A and B are shown apart, each in its own frame.
Chain A
């Protein structure tokens, strides 16, 4: 079974530029999460989707971050404009309906300079 796929693996941008990350969850997983992990810290939830609907986006900085999950499969997370403090690893995870475990992708390491 293929795992959660994320791209790109690494991205370096200048502040005030925009960037987008892509995630393809495990096939059949209805729930998709985006997490932000700053160096030395645990992952922090940004947004959670159930199919193509948003379940929780309370910690998403909506003035600059946006996410969508069209057709309830792939998802894209965008930052516009980026700030230095957005430098982090962005992790995508998915879980199946009724399951408590979540499975993570490799993450995208973003560096804002």
Chain B
């Protein structure tokens, strides 16, 4: 059974203080690892898809990386508007649905 865990559960940063969020996964044949951002009261917003170990994707202050067992979402010089819950999900070769982790709640203080 596919499993996804995320750490930390919550993270508070000062504006400009870079950090990383972790997503650890167990999956039978990774078909994709996905990062989503979710603001309060809204649906998840797609950020990145990673397909194979060693792959990296960047978008503004965010950079996602992937190894065979985990993915990191690096946030460089975050701003208060980066405050949100960041969700990680995986899709395996057999199933077609997305298995989500519990998310990391990020707060960036001005």
A residues lining the B interface (CB < 8 Å): 4, 31, 33, 35, 40-45, 48, 50, 55-56, 91, 93, 100-107, 109
B residues lining the A interface (CB < 8 Å): 4, 31-32, 34, 36, 41-46, 49, 87, 89, 91, 95-103
Beyond A91-B44, A100-B31, whether A43 also contacts B100 by CB under 8 A is yes
Q: In the bound complex, how far is the Cα of B89 from the Cα of A105, in angstroms? A: 17
Q: In the bound complex, how far is the Cα of B32 from the Cα of A100, in angstroms? A: 7
* Contact between A105 and B32, CB atoms less than 8 A apart: no
Where chain B touches its partner, the secondary structure class is strand
* Contact between B45 and A33, CB atoms less than 8 A apart: no
* Contact between B46 and A102, CB atoms less than 8 A apart: yes
Closest CB-CB distance, A48 to chain B, in whole Å? Answer: 5
B43 interface neighbour in A41, A44, A91, Cβ under 8 Å: A91
* Contact between B43 and A40, CB atoms less than 8 A apart: no
Closest CB-CB distance, A6 to chain B, in whole Å? Answer: 8
Beyond A44-B100, A56-B97, whether A104 also contacts B31 by CB under 8 A is no
Given A35-B100, A56-B97, 10 further pairs, Cβ under 8 A? A41-B103, A42-B103, A44-B100, A45-B97, A48-B97, A55-B96, A93-B43, A100-B91, A103-B46, A107-B42
Q: In the bound complex, how far is the Cα of B100 from the Cα of A33, in angstroms? A: 13
Q: In the bound complex, how far is the Cα of B34 from the Cα of A63, in angstroms? A: 32
